[in-house]
């Protein structure tokens, strides 16, 4: 299956799995989501199946009951955030990371501490980019 983007509803499921130390069944995911989202247990199962097809979730079959699947994240949250960020920059800023960062920075009032944190991130980024300035990917 082609790499499809994780939808907002699927992202909510992934948040539950990323927060868990152990694999979870779809029922356990549903219970942990109750009160936070308006989603049926059947919809949770459908979305988890889609996430498996997108190769974001993996599963093992329960040893005692072959009808029960235990799901776990195949991709870390950081990896998914990077992919989502890249697609966002490509879609709305024609691939220009500089324009995307400038737009975001101009949209928020930052504290001195946040500015210092961003400066540290930029400092760490120096030297990592090996491509020409014209092509930011």
Query: Structural domain of residue 42, as residue ranges?
Result: 8-73
Give the total number of structural domains in the chain: 2
Give the pLDDT of residue 31.
Answer: 95
Indicate which CATH number applies to the domain containing 25: 1.10.10.10
In a domain, residue 137? The reply is no
Is 61 found in the same domain as 38? yes
Give the pLDDT of residue 127.
Answer: 75
Put simply, whether the predicted model's pTM sits higher than 0.85 gets the answer no
Residue of 20, 7, 77 lying closest to 48 (CA atoms) = 7
Is 52 found in the same domain as 16? yes
Give the pLDDT of residue 72.
Answer: 97
Give the pLDDT of residue 136.
Answer: 47
Is 16 found in the same domain as 67? yes
Q: Point out the residues of the chain with pLDDT beneath 50.
A: 1-2, 132-137
Residue of 86, 88, 97, 89 lying closest to 125 (CA atoms) = 97
Residue partners of 57: CB distance under 8 A and separation at least 6:
14, 17, 48, 51, 71, 72, 73, 74
In a domain, residue 132? The reply is no
In a domain, residue 2? The reply is no
Is 93 found in the same domain as 68? no
What is the distance between the alpha carbons of residues 22 and 119, in angstroms, rounded to a whole number? 36
Is 100 found in the same domain as 64? no
**Which residues does residue 61 pair with via DSSP β-bridges, in sequence order?**
69
């Amino acid at each position: 299956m082609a790499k499809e983007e994780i939808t907002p509803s699927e992202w909510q499921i992934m948040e539950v799995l990323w927060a868990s130390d152990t694999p979870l069944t779809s029922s356990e995911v549903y219970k942990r989501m109750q009160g936070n989202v308006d989603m049926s247990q059947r919809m949770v199962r459908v979305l988890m199946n889609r996430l498996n097809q997108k190769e974001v979730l993996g599963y093992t079959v329960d040893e005692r009951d072959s009808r029960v699947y235990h799901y776990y994240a195949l991709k870390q949250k950081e990896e998914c955030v990077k992919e989502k960020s890249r697609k966002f920059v490509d879609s709305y800023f024609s691939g220009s990371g500089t324009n995307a960062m400038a737009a975001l920075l101009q949209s928020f009032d930052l504290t001195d501490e946040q500015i210092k944190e961003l400066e540290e991130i930029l400092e760490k980024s120096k030297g990592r980019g090996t491509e020409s300035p014209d092509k930011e990917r």
